[in-house]
């Protein structure tokens, strides 16, 4: 289907917006009136720019507070029709009336809309009537269809907007009652499920399909079943997208539509972590945690350190320690890269020597490199390393990896991990940091667990970390406390006073500085190393079917990390 987007969905001037929208591969745009009014170019020039960029102008919007008013005002509409002719737009969105002066009179509304459609027809223009969720009398899409059907004019149809329909809990199956050719336009927006005033929700918190909590695939299936053949158009009011780079937002928007349409290349979700790659010379830390150097890359200054199925690729550079890449186990790496590419993820060029294994990588929104690997495959990436024998088996595998995401790009990151990698978003959590609230969301699937944390603007400890699963965390903790004092993050005694008031726990937790959590499925033990550069390690052990990440203890970690930062 053709793809379109409202100019209000991205930042900048109207010209910036059109260029970014075209660059992302959209076919058309909805021109939001406000963007035209503040634009120094005449409508004819906007029309020419859009045409030069290969964009059609699919809709001009919004025209407000028209139908069922005490006095019919066609003068204002005439002006807009003339403007639309100059702009080359032939479809006008009319929102249901919100004025306290409007009458709750369907016959009058239909009569006014019929007259408007007749006048529009003289200009070759059609009218798409939309029920706003907060319309004064008309706020349900079936009500707007009832009025449009009564008005019975070929130049009058409905505009369906997923936000206005799903935000008020209306069942979209009723869309199938509307003939496809009377659905003149389709606007799509997702939103997180918030309990708040619907107008504020709409104006600030809409997001692209797949970033929120609405069932957009289900919604679209009803629109398709009705026989709609027009464009899929995104209309998103979002405080973050207003502030982010228009080209990046437009690409993210296009990715959401490709995923929604279901036309991306298919690929299975990753089944776990192949490796974590870190800079900054973390050998001593890896060694203390029981990792053994098991290989050296044939051509690059990279060492492989292993323990159980946990693998670290350590660069020997003097840069600040940081997590730069993640290897994911993929049953078919080629398909995974094709899917990523079809969803507009940047595929990274990779220089390799002739004999080295082919490794496909893409860039995540925060710049982290994601590699798709099949470790067990003969001739796989491990062949690049000269093998050695692993020693300790305290750590069994990488349990999860946590990455900090800039606040304005959190929605983009969620969509990336959800659609490109096939992970499912879990509940969004908030916890207190001494200097702000931290938002956190786990993305899981197969054997892969990622945690995305919002990075605050204010100075705060880095939240990049690799969590290592342990077979016997207490044994490892005992060894680390004995052999490497200062390696583990100290935990305040007050934490244990509170913990012991709530639960009967092993007193050794206090001695070892091990944290404890439980959920309805099981229990969780964990501890943290001190931070090196921008990275730290977490050691975890899950008991029973514990599903979480010890988020209840995150405020303790953050407070201790803050107190250890140099002022």
Examine residue 194 and tell whether it contacts a second copy (CB under 8 A).
yes
Nearest to 350 by CA among 379, 370, 378, 375: 370
* Footprint on residues 103-142 left by a second copy (CB under 8 A): none
φ/ψ region of 56 (left if φ > 0, alpha if ψ in -120 to 50, else beta) reads: beta
Q: Which is nearer to a second copy, 239 or 472 (CB)?
A: 239
Give every CB contact of residue 60 below 8 A, 6+ residues apart in sequence: 30, 31, 33, 80, 83, 84, 87, 89, 91, 92, 93
Examine residue 197 and tell whether it contacts a second copy (CB under 8 A).
yes
Whether the CA torsion 195, 454, 515, 391 is positive or negative: it is positive
From 207-215, 362-370, 444-452, 492-500, span contacting a second copy (CB under 8 A):
492-500
Residue from the set 227, 436, 544, 545 that interacts with a second copy by CB under 8 A: 436
From 34-42, 334-342, 417-425, 539-547, span contacting a second copy (CB under 8 A):
34-42
Q: Are strands 56-63 and 28-32 parallel, antiparallel or unpaired?
A: parallel
Q: Which is nearer to a second copy, 38 or 566 (CB)?
A: 38
Nearest to 360 by CA among 345, 311, 308, 398: 345
From 119-127, 277-285, 345-353, 556-564, span contacting a second copy (CB under 8 A):
556-564
Nearest to 337 by CA among 372, 381, 364: 372
Residue 28 contacts residue 235 (beta carbons within 8 Å): no
The nearest distance, CB 314 to a second copy, in angstroms, is 32
The nearest distance, CB 473 to a second copy, in angstroms, is 22
Residue 224 contacts residue 181 (beta carbons within 8 Å): no
Residue 506 contacts residue 452 (beta carbons within 8 Å): no
Examine residue 497 and tell whether it contacts a second copy (CB under 8 A).
yes
From 125-133, 357-365, 433-441, 543-551, span contacting a second copy (CB under 8 A):
433-441
Measure the CA–CA gap between 192 and 205, rounded to whole angstroms.
7
Measure the CA–CA gap between 388 and 364, rounded to whole angstroms.
32
Q: Which is nearer to a second copy, 4 or 11 (CB)?
A: 11
Examine residue 560 and tell whether it contacts a second copy (CB under 8 A).
yes
Nearest to 270 by CA among 451, 464, 441, 450: 450
The nearest distance, CB 77 to a second copy, in angstroms, is 8
Examine residue 502 and tell whether it contacts a second copy (CB under 8 A).
yes
Measure the CA–CA gap between 81 and 87, rounded to whole angstroms.
10
Q: Which is nearer to a second copy, 12 or 25 (CB)?
A: 12
The nearest distance, CB 516 to a second copy, in angstroms, is 13
Q: Which is nearer to a second copy, 388 or 437 (CB)?
A: 437
Q: Which is nearer to a second copy, 435 or 543 (CB)?
A: 435
The nearest distance, CB 365 to a second copy, in angstroms, is 19
Residue from the set 105, 215, 498, 519 that interacts with a second copy by CB under 8 A: 498
Residue from the set 101, 388, 437, 565 that interacts with a second copy by CB under 8 A: 437
The nearest distance, CB 221 to a second copy, in angstroms, is 30
Cite the annotated binding site for a divalent metal cation by residue number: 130, 161, 187, 235
Give every CB contact of residue 96 below 8 A, 6+ residues apart in sequence: 67, 129, 130, 131, 132, 135, 136, 137, 138, 139, 144
Residue from the set 21, 36, 95, 512 that interacts with a second copy by CB under 8 A: 36
Cite the annotated binding site for Mg(2+) by residue number: 400, 465, 538
From 73-81, 154-162, 221-229, 370-378, span contacting a second copy (CB under 8 A):
73-81
Burial class of residue 346, CB neighbours in 10 A (0-12, 13-18, 19+): middle
Examine residue 243 and tell whether it contacts a second copy (CB under 8 A).
yes
Q: Which is nearer to a second copy, 110 or 125 (CB)?
A: 125
Nearest to 96 by CA among 119, 125, 63, 121: 63
Helices (H), 3-105: 14-23, 33-37, 43-52, 74-87
Residue 116 CB neighbour total at 10 angstroms: 27
Residue from the set 111, 176, 366, 500 that interacts with a second copy by CB under 8 A: 500
Measure the CA–CA gap between 438 and 431, rounded to whole angstroms.
5
* Footprint on residues 461-490 left by a second copy (CB under 8 A): 490
The nearest distance, CB 80 to a second copy, in angstroms, is 6
- For 137-149, b/e burial (b = at least 16 CB within 10 A) is bbbbbebbbbbbb
Q: Which is nearer to a second copy, 97 or 294 (CB)?
A: 97
Find residue 76's DSSP bridge partners: none
CA angle 95, 98, 103 (to 5 degrees): 105
Q: Which is nearer to a second copy, 42 or 179 (CB)?
A: 42
Examine residue 435 and tell whether it contacts a second copy (CB under 8 A).
yes
Measure the CA–CA gap between 269 and 264, rounded to whole angstroms.
14
The nearest distance, CB 4 to a second copy, in angstroms, is 21
The nearest distance, CB 150 to a second copy, in angstroms, is 27
For a second copy, the binding residues (CB under 8 A) are 11-13, 16, 33-34, 36-40, 42-43, 75-76, 79-80, 83, 194-197, 200, 204, 239, 242-243, 432-437, 456-458, 490, 492-495, 497-498, 500-502, 555-556, 558-560, 562-563
């Amino acid at each position: 289907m053709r793809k379109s987007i409202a100019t209000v969905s991205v930042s900048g001037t109207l010209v910036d917006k059109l260029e970014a929208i075209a660059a992302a591969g959209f076919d058309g745009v909805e021109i939001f009136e406000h963007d035209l009014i503040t634009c120094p170019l005449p409508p004819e020039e906007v029309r020419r720019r859009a045409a030069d960029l290969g964009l059609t102008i699919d809709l001009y919007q919004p025209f407000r507070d028209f139908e069922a008013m005490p006095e019919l005002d066609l003068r204002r509409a005439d002006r807009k029709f003339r403007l639309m002719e100059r702009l080359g737009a032939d479809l006008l969105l009319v929102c249901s009336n919100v004025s306290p002066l409007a009458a709750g009179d369907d016959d009058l509304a239909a009569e006014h809309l019929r007259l408007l459609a007749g006048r529009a027809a003289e200009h070759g223009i059609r009218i798409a009537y939309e029920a706003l969720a907060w319309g004064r009398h008309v706020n349900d899409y079936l009500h707007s269809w009832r009025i449009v059907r009564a008005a019975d004019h070929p130049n009058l149809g409905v505009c369906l907007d997923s936000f206005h329909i799903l935000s008020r809990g209306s069942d979209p199956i009723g869309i199938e009652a509307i003939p496809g050719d009377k659905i003149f336009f389709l606007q799509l927006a997702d939103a997180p499920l918030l309990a708040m005033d619907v107008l504020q929700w709409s104006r600030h918190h809409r997001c692209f399909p797949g970033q929120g909590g609405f069932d957009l695939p289900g919604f679209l299936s009803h629109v398709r079943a009705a026989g709609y053949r027009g464009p899929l158009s995104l209309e998103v009011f979002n405080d973050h997208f207003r502030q982010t780079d228009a080209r990046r937002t437009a690409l993210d928007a296009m990715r959401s539509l490709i995923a929604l349409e279901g036309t991306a290349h298919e690929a299975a979700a990753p089944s776990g972590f192949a490796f974590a790659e870190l800079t900054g010379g973390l050998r001593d830390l890896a060694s203390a945690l029981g990792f053994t150097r098991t290989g050296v890359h044939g051509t690059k200054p990279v060492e492989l350190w292993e323990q159980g199925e946990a693998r670290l690729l350590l660069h020997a550079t003097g840069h600040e320690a940081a997590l730069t890449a993640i290897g994911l186990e993929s049953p078919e790496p080629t398909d995974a890269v094709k899917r990523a590419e079809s969803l507009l993820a940047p595929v990274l060029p990779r220089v390799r020597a002739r004999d080295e294994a082919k490794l496909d990588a893409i860039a995540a929104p925060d710049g982290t490199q994601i590699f798709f690997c099949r470790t067990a495959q003969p001739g796989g990436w491990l062949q690049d390393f000269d093998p050695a024998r692993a020693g300790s088996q305290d750590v069994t595998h990488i349990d999860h990896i946590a990455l900090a995401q800039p606040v304005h790009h959190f929605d983009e990151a969620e969509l990336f991990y959800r659609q490109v990698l096939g992970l499912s978003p879990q509940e969004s959590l908030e916890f207190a940091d001494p200097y702000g609230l931290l938002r956190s969301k786990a993305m899981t699937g197969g054997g892969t667990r990622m945690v995305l944390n919002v990075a605050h603007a204010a100075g705060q400890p880095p939240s990049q970390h690799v969590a290592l699963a342990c077979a016997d965390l207490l044994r490892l903790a005992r060894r680390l406390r004995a052999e490497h004092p200062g390696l583990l993050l100290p935990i305040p005694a007050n934490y244990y006073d509170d913990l012991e008031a709530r639960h009967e726990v092993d007193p050794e937790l206090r001695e070892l500085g091990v944290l404890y959590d439980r959920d309805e499925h099981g229990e969780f033990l964990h501890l943290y190393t001190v931070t090196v550069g921008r990275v730290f390690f977490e050691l975890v052990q899950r008991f029973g079917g514990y599903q979480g990440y010890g988020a209840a203890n995150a405020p303790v970690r953050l407070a201790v990390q803050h107190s250890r930062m140099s002022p």
